[in-house]
Amino acid sequence: MEQNNENKNENKNSPIARRKFLRVLGTAVAGGSILAISGGLISRVKGSEVSHYWQIDPQKCTQCGRCETDCVLQVSAVKCIHANKICGYCDLCGGYYRSNVKELNTAAENLMCPTGAIQRKFVEDPYFEYSIDESLCNGCGKCVKGCSSFGNGSLYLQIKRDLCKDCNECSIATVCASNAITRVSLDKPYKLKDE
């Protein structure tokens, strides 16, 4: 306090000078903190990628159905994709038909997919080729559940990169029951089963 008074006597503009000093101090602190944060974090960035994507690990996924409901998009960015190379091409497909069907025809009540997104094409006796119409798929994962419990697991869910908004925090990941959604690097945007 005494020192302050002395300063005042020395310099009539003392409060202004003090304010100026505080401002310079503030500038120094602010500049220093920017340098510190960027310096501290740039070393962390080094070697990692410019950006990254959210993706589902099909090995962990339990098809709880939240992908359909919890995406920020009205129709989820999660779609079912089909790995032809591990598909059994069966007629009685656990992903195509419901489990208790009596007749193997394409009547809607027999089919697993609620939106009719799974299409099948006759290849040769007894094989059928299955494919997903992405525009119809809503990512509910019912077929995936059927395929992985009764079949080869060739149907699985992935986040489609052209649809996903790549939210800072994936809102499906926050509710995912099996913690299957994690960040992947840009050069490996999908976790494909047939690679």
| Binding region for other proteins (CB under 8 A) | 23, 26-27, 29-31, 34, 37-38, 40-42, 44-45, 48-53, 60, 62, 64-66, 72-74, 81-82, 84-86, 88-92, 123-127, 129, 131, 148, 150-153, 158, 160-162, 165-169, 171, 174, 177-178, 183, 186, 189-190, 192
DSSP E strand stretches across the chain: 52-56, 78-82, 118-124, 127-132, 155-159, 181-185
Closest CA to 177 of 61, 89, 16, 79: 61
140: Cα within 13 Å, side-chain hemisphere: 14
Nearest distance in Å: CB 145, other proteins: 12
Of the pair 46, 107, the CB lying nearest other proteins is at: 46
81: Cα within 13 Å, side-chain hemisphere: 17
How far apart CA 182 and CA 153 sit, in angstroms, is 21
Of the pair 11, 69, the CB lying nearest other proteins is at: 69
Nearest distance in Å: CB 63, other proteins: 10
Q: Burial-class residue 150 by CB neighbours within 10 Å (0-12, 13-18, 19+).
A: middle
Of the pair 64, 136, the CB lying nearest other proteins is at: 64
Gyration radius of the chain over CA positions: 29
Of the pair 4, 123, the CB lying nearest other proteins is at: 123
Nearest distance in Å: CB 168, other proteins: 4
Nearest distance in Å: CB 122, other proteins: 10
Nearest distance in Å: CB 76, other proteins: 12
Nearest distance in Å: CB 115, other proteins: 19
How far apart CA 9 and CA 2 sit, in angstroms, is 11
